[in-house]
Homo-oligomer: A and B are copies of this chain.
Amino acid sequence: MKYGIAIFPSKKIQDFANSYRKRYDPHYALITPHVTLKEGFEIADDQVDDVAKDLVQVAKQTKPFSINISKVSTFSPVTNTIYLKIDPNESLTSLHNQLNKVEATPEKDTFQFVPHITIAQKLSDDEYSDVYGSLRMMDVSFEDLVDRFQLLYQLDNGSWTVYETFRLGEE
């Protein structure tokens, strides 16, 4: 099955992101707003609990940390994706790197890690210009505590179900 690893920010941030995703993100109904830590990767059914054990170790060794969001940004011209940008954060990057080193999940991310919460994607060029033109001016300011991450799997319809939660820093 296809698994992924993500952080769900607090309800306040998710509600804010959804107010845009509802109109501008075709993945709106597939998963609630999130920060992807590890893109979709395959795990055999009989190996998922081994992977989960490794994730427990990573979680234990990571202390809860704060993240800040202070601007709207974009992956254009690569894709017409607009997102809430998470300010550079060593704890988050370190967590990402560790999760992508977990032995049983050897796929490497192809892109540099740019932590973000998508609020619009797969827009036409015209729509993208309109939407980003107005969103880029927006004042956004959120601080959030990250104290857990989640391992999810994807259903046939594209939606994601949480398999397990991993609390940071717990023995």
* Residue ranges of A at the interface with B (Cβ–Cβ < 8 Å): 1, 8, 11, 14-15, 18, 22, 28-30, 32, 148, 150, 153, 155-157, 159-165, 167
- With A18-B156, A164-B167 known, 5 other A-B pairs at CB within 8 A are A14-B155, A18-B157, A18-B159, A32-B155, A150-B165
Can you list the 7 inter-chain pairs with the closest CB atoms, starting with the nearest? A29-B29, A162-B162, A165-B165, A32-B161, A15-B156, A164-B165, A8-B161
**CA–CA, A167 to B56, complex, Å?**
13
In Å, the complex CA distance between A14 and B154 comes to 10
What are 18 inter-chain pairs, A to B, with CB distance below 8 A?
A1-B11, A11-B155, A11-B156, A11-B161, A14-B161, A15-B156, A15-B157, A18-B155, A18-B156, A18-B157, A18-B159, A22-B157, A29-B29, A29-B30, A32-B160, A150-B165, A162-B162, A165-B165
Main secondary structure of the interface of A (DSSP, over half): mixed
Query: Smallest Cβ distance from A10 to chain B, in angstroms?
Result: 9
A150 to B148, CA, bound (A): 14
Tell me the bound Cα distance from A22 to B28 in angstroms. 15
Q: Which of B14, B18, B155, B164 contacts A148 (CB under 8 A)?
A: B164
Instruction: Identify which of B8, B28, B157 contacts A162 (C-beta below 8 A).
Output: B8
B-side contacts of A29, CB under 8 Å: 28-30, 159
Which residue from B1, B160, B163 sits with its C-beta under 8 Å from A165? B163
Interchain nearest-CB distance for A153 vs B (Å): 6
